[in-house]
Structure 1
Amino acid sequence: MNSYEIVRQIGEGAFGKAFLVRDKHGGGDGRCVVKHINLAKMSAREREASRKEVMLLSKMKHPNIVAFFRSFQEKNSLYIVMEYCDGGDLMKRINMQRGVPFTEEQVLDWFVQICLGLKHIHDRKILHRDIKTQNIFLTSGGMKAKLGDFGIARMLNNTMELARTCVGTPYYLSPEICESRPYNNKTCVHEFEGSSLRQLVGKICRGRYNPVSSCYSYDLRLLLTQLFKVSPRDRPSVSSVLKRPFLEKRISRHLEPQVRSSHTESLNKQSCPTRPGAAHTPGNMEHTT
């Protein structure tokens, strides 16, 4: 850690802390985030999970994913150095609105970027498993959205494997996780509310959520009703979502030409939206896990 000057602590978890630091030898302002993980407090299985997190992060190179710079170990501590997102997380940005709806233009720009980052990890057979507003980070004055915190991500060994461990944040759990059924890539967004965990799970499993405001377009409201379908087989894949004209036209705003070319090639390889009853695989990943 001698190469970094700690500016302040910005997070804390069961096994470590996250710090905003300044790289003493870096260019520009040199700010980045260092995640410090105390390996001494972990079981052998947990230490292995931390090493896998580093491996996953090193594979994630995309403009809509928080960048991984390096990792190193000192004694019983593992350090992961990542990009600093100066706009904070999306939850913070939502709270700043104090109940005032975002414009549809803003919602769609963030949504397309999140989908682009999500498609990147799904194409590599990786499930995030805890997508929520606190794990979406903003930069460039809040215009660029990046998916982060892969602490409980899961890499599938083959395209037909299903994850079975119940993980994630209650508000965002999908019906299949609530009912202890195998899942591949689905979770819900914070449209579901409940005064208790039992009530919340009940609403998720029945697909009951507050209606989307009529201030948003028909295309957006229709998409949300499809993404909230109780059966995972009825939800569109992230690839088919990005092919919808009202979203597809926005992709060029967020990807450099070289990245856009790679994305288009990958999208063209994807099959058409999966028909009801067909099996989903990580090659045809769904909206949000």
Structure 2
Amino acid sequence: MLLTPPTSPQLTTCLAPEDRLGCVLAGRLELVSILGIGAYGVVYQAVDILTNIPYAVKALPKAGLDSRQRRFQRREIALHHQASQHPNVVSLLRILDSPDCTFVVIEYCPEGDLFSNITEQGRFVGDDQLAKHAFLQILDAVQYCHSVGIYHRDLKPENILVTDQGHTVKLADFGLATTDAVTSDFGCGSTFYMSPECQQAPARPYARYAAAPNDVWSLGVILVNLTCGRNPWKKASPDDSTFRAFLRDPQFLSSILPISPELNMILRRIFECDPTKRITLQELREMIISCPRLTMNSYNTLPPSPPQTPYDYVDSLDCANMALPPSPPASPCPHQPFQSQPSEWSLFEPASKQGSSCSSLSTDSGYESELPYTDAGQRLQPPVFNFYGNVIPLHDHEKAYYTPSNFVPTVAAF
């Protein structure tokens, strides 16, 4: 068992990210643009020069890695490959090796991640049918991962990619995934999406928490994102006044969110603080399928006044700080937003797009650029990549739906 992920290394390489543009990998894939730059690597768009099919290529640097960090890098690749047997997980197609980088070739999703689709494209919020369809796909992908012993631990809209005009969503980024059903990696993931038991290690020695119920909790926050376009609270901790209000009365969410009574009941089952009593993925799937409506479609109304009793201890700014922006969602119709006060805690503000703690070597947030590119000093000429050997001949049509795979991908050698 690998223990807590090591501290993420600095992105050290003699090449600036744009210096690789124009390189042709394996004699087929030309790197044509930069999709995102994170603390742990660079994601490029590539085009097969023979077929013109686009791909995404994740460049994971080797420089500055110790043996433990290299193990975590290999684990991310292996678990992603195994999980990608499911159609709602981004396909890991090939692994290519170079002296300074490991290149992971994955399918290209040009419509970006779920976060940008909610906040910029106006999809899902106000469209119960589309939100339910997307959420069931995410749930099915997570359920498959759990069935083969993989726990994602970083479920959030930034790590879910969108295709087919919002009708298909795919889980991505397995940088924090583990095969440990019980883990001691407290604080692992993004604060908005962590379960209470994951927040902070108890004082007692050998403390652990179950990974599967933690993923279920994260799915509940994503469900609120999809239906309401906001987060239910900043942190699932008694330190958060909105979460304290929920602990006092589970009906509290229905007073600040335009959710239906049926969805409120589902969220109460998801946001059960005792992980042993939390709803299972199968139960959640059945409840979502049978749920007649997710929201009250009340986006043309003003937000309710902060309750006076018994919630007089609730900081009203905490509620406003997670509201929708002034602009209404673009689909399915131009409703007014439920909440209108923008803030740094809104799902619709760039500052709410969180990085993940405990990360090993993960380009967080799908393809979204997270760190501004800065000139890395003197530019070097792009190296001549002379790949040869075998690559993983995986394609979408070879996916075996719900068929576990123990195959660990090999890499093309020089």
Which interval holds the TM-score relative to the shorter structure? 0.7 to 0.9
Pairing 1:50-129 to 2, within 5 Å after superposition:
50-60=73-83, 61-96=85-120, 101-129=125-153
The whole-number CA distance in structure 2 between the counterparts of 1:239 and 1:248 is 14
Comparing both structures, which one devotes a greater share of its residues to helix?
A: 1
Quick one: structure 1 residues 248 and 205, their matched pair in 2 at CA, closer, same or farther if it must change by over 3 Å? Answer: closer
Cα deviation for residue 124 of structure 1 reads 0.6
Pairing 1:23-62 to 2, within 5 Å after superposition:
23-25=48-50, 27=51, 29-60=52-83, 61-62=85-86
Cα deviation for residue 216 of structure 1 reads 4.1
Cα deviation for residue 52 of structure 1 reads 1.2
The whole-number CA distance in structure 2 between the counterparts of 1:39 and 1:154 is 21
Quick one: structure 1 residues 215 and 171, their matched pair in 2 at CA, closer, same or farther if it must change by over 3 Å? Answer: closer
The whole-number CA distance in structure 2 between the counterparts of 1:119 and 1:134 is 19
Q: Report if aligned partners of 1:104, 1:216 keep a CA contact under 8 Å in 2.
A: no
Query: Which is greater in Rg?
Result: 2
The whole-number CA distance in structure 1 between the counterparts of 2:72 and 2:39 is 14
The whole-number CA distance in structure 1 between the counterparts of 2:290 and 2:38 is 36
For residues 161-200 of structure 1, give each alpha carbon's deviation from its aligned partner in whole angstroms, at most 9, with x where no partner exists. Answer: 4011131011111100113252322143232126xx9945
The whole-number CA distance in structure 1 between the counterparts of 2:77 and 2:36 is 18
Q: Which runs of 5+ in 2 are unaligned?
A: 1-24, 202-207, 222-230, 293-398, 405-414
Residue of structure 2 in register with 1:3 after alignment? 28
1:192 aligns with 2:192: no
Cα deviation for residue 232 of structure 1 reads 1.1
Residue of structure 2 in register with 1:169 after alignment? 190
The whole-number CA distance in structure 2 between the counterparts of 1:248 and 1:83 is 33
- Number of residue pairs aligned between Structure 1 and Structure 2: 247
Residue of structure 2 in register with 1:130 after alignment? 154
Quick one: structure 1 residues 247 and 115, their matched pair in 2 at CA, closer, same or farther if it must change by over 3 Å? Answer: farther
Quick one: structure 1 residues 97 and 10, their matched pair in 2 at CA, closer, same or farther if it must change by over 3 Å? Answer: closer
Q: Report if aligned partners of 1:65, 1:148 keep a CA contact under 8 Å in 2.
A: yes
Give the structure, 1 or 2, with the largest relative contact order (CA under 8 Å, sep 6 or more): 2
Q: Report if aligned partners of 1:219, 1:246 keep a CA contact under 8 Å in 2.
A: no
For residues 57-95 of structure 1, give each alpha carbon's deviation from its aligned partner in whole angstroms, at most 9, with x where no partner exists. Answer: 221211111111011211131110001112211110111
Given the two structures, how large is their TM-score scaled by the length of structure 1?
0.75
Comparing both structures, which one devotes a greater share of its residues to strand?
A: 1
1:21 aligns with 2:42: no
| SS of equivalent to 1:126 | coil
Given the two structures, how large is their TM-score scaled by the length of structure 2?
0.54
For residues 131-187 of structure 1, give each alpha carbon's deviation from its aligned partner in whole angstroms, at most 9, with x where no partner exists. Answer: 00100111011110111111111113xxxx401113101111110011325232214
| SS of equivalent to 2:183 | coil
Q: Report if aligned partners of 2:238, 2:244 keep a CA contact under 8 Å in 1.
A: no
Greater Cα shift, 237-246 or 51-60: 237-246
The whole-number CA distance in structure 2 between the counterparts of 1:32 and 1:99 is 24
RMSD between aligned residues: 3.2
The whole-number CA distance in structure 1 between the counterparts of 2:49 and 2:158 is 29
